A and B are shown apart, each in its own frame.
Chain A
Amino acid sequence: MGKFTERVNFFIASVVRIIPTSCLNRLTRSETHDMTDSSTSLLNVERLGKSFRGLQALEAYDLSLRQGELLGVIGPNGAGKTTLFNLLTGVTPATTGVIRFAGVDISGRRPDEIARLGVARTFQKVRLFPALTALENLRIPLQMHESAALWQVVLRTSHFLRSEATLTQNARDLLALVDLADAAHKPAAQLSYGQQRRLELACALALQPRLLLLDEPAAGMNPTEADALMHLILRLHREFNLTTILIEHNMRLIMNMCSRIQVLNYGRLIAEGAPDEIRRNPLVVEAYLGQVENHGAG
């Protein structure tokens, strides 16, 4: 109990401590842009669909996400949640539909282009660069903001050296944010599962995203770790007005965090609304528990 509050406090303290001084200021890089067109939504998805050789993984999916919203996406296994993320990030090309991010049509763009536009994600199964240290892992997403030409790299110009120093400093700040400052020089492969999860989140934040996609971030975490993570996500969301889509199986987590929830089943959007509406929606109950009538009649 004491340990838990201590941990949460540490997170809050570290966030607060770091905000004014570091790169995290720039987490909000989108704000100035979006103020001008805050009436329109940050992410606009129309009739998005994906079929794998006849299997309809996602069908006629619509979404309009406002700047600063925290949307939860739930659904049974195989409902198409991860497919949705893969489509939004360009990993798999959509069969039908349009994705508009901050007014730009991103359907058909490469994943790295979409990432550079400000869509960051984490993966359901942690994906890090195992041989690289935690610090080096963070430099990969961070370096996209620091550009040095090849000749500058080869000649080690002072511009390049300064950009490398900035990169290291930003990476250290992010490590501190997710409570990994001590593990900076450990290879990612040697980190504990919870640490790897947090490092992956830091990698997503390093892109200075305008839209954060979290694919079951609490999977495999114990309740203490999950709560600490939840506080961190909420914190990021509130402090930086970071627009977030959260896929999660942990109902307690998602019901507490999200003001709007979408439910997918067999690739179709079957319900959308506030947590209370979702909890009472018969279609949702059916999707998770099977047809109620059958049990009742039998």
Chain B
Amino acid sequence: MTDLMTGPGAVLDDDLLRLSPAIGYTALVLVALSTVLIGIYGLRISRTTGDFYVASRTVRPWWNASAIGGEYLSAASFLGVAGLILISGVDALWFPIGYTAGYLMLLLFVAAPLRRSGAYTIPDFAQARLDSLLVRRVTSLLVILIGWLYIVPQLHGAALTVRVTTGLPPWAGPLAVVVVVCLSVVTGGMRSITFVQAFQYWLKLTALAVPVAFMLFRLGDAGLPVTAGGSAFTADLDTTADASLYGTISLVIALLFGTLGLPHVLVRFYTNPDGASARRTTLIVLGLLSVFYLFPTVYGILGRIHTPELAAAGAADATVLLLPGRILGGVTGDLLSALVTAGAFAAFLSTTSGLVVSLAGVVSQEFFQGSVRGFRTAALLSAAVPLGIALLTDSLALAGSVGSVFAFTASTICPLLLLGIWWRGLTDAGAIAGMLTGAVSCGGAIAATAVVGAGDRWVLLSQPALWTVPTAFLTMVLVSRATAGRRPASTSRVLARLHTPEPR
């Protein structure tokens, strides 16, 4: 089924998947242009070192939260959620719930302490907390791996969007995204990125919300079915079996605890002035995400009535792109399709650039002594590797492949952060043992799924978080206990810094 969707030389029903190329190009140019303009505006107002590092300290929580939302809402959210709802109905609603509630966990356990740690990246935090270069190295490698795995689905989404909207071959989309991201990162660095990302949140929201309003109005006006008397909810378009209870719970655990280890998410928290405002920002982010996810849900439901054939064609992720044209048609349909396409591009660009920037920071500090040249090389490297992977692999459902990255993060970085922030007993040996156990078990399960396929019998492998996350935690605790002599002398001081409020 999925072979049909992508892969070089895939056969696609042209009538099914076609928008006028003019729409696609217009949208591409609009997004690129507005991104550049806002970037220049941001560049103008930030010139000094202080501006560079703490630019966001002068930015209000609303801007900051919008930027976080802009960076976080990826291809999986913008296209994948609606596609998954189209295919598997109510079970797919767990994805947006997990993506949102992940920020609740971040708020409860990580936001304020991590901001107060002053660490800029996760490896920085690991080194400061555990006073060990080896922990730093292991964490860096994991962060780089996670970043690469997370960029790949973004590029798959770009391939799909560019193919649907412009008819260009599948490699064009990923290449375009990587080139734009590299150009902006290599030349401009991160200076103005907060404004760009914040703008892109609102662009994405508008791009989904405005067509929904038009579509619902048209459907109501013409007396066409909205939910078709409820059959939108019961229609069985699924080509696989229903999600099991185990699968659902495991997925929720992965999404809840994976969010708080994502590299590009954590970088953003450093841009808050203090711990208390980190919390306020997270609160706003939760609101922004909750509002946003209503719209992909509506697309998914409408898609079940108006574009059900996309499920069988293996192109469910194109639902958001095709639905406005299908329901509205004419000039209105074209304009709104362009808007949705623009939103999709914004999603790939913002998430990919956020990831590339945070990865480049880690890679350059680890391997290039943190020089500017090194940062640029690292940025190219951070984008080129996932580009290669994306071009060599076929995309699965976007939301699903992002889900396994969350499981991997939850099994590796999450225990390090949670135990590092809240438990005095953590040692460097324990941290390394736990992270490696989580990486091997979860990574192995994901790799095995790729080999045997995600059947019902293999749900333990395709949704591994429910057993790999506790295993990683347990290993970390037990090995730390066994090596209690290795507790760093600075533990009390570091923990005090993490948890005491900033002076009034």
Whether chain B is bound by chain A comes out as no
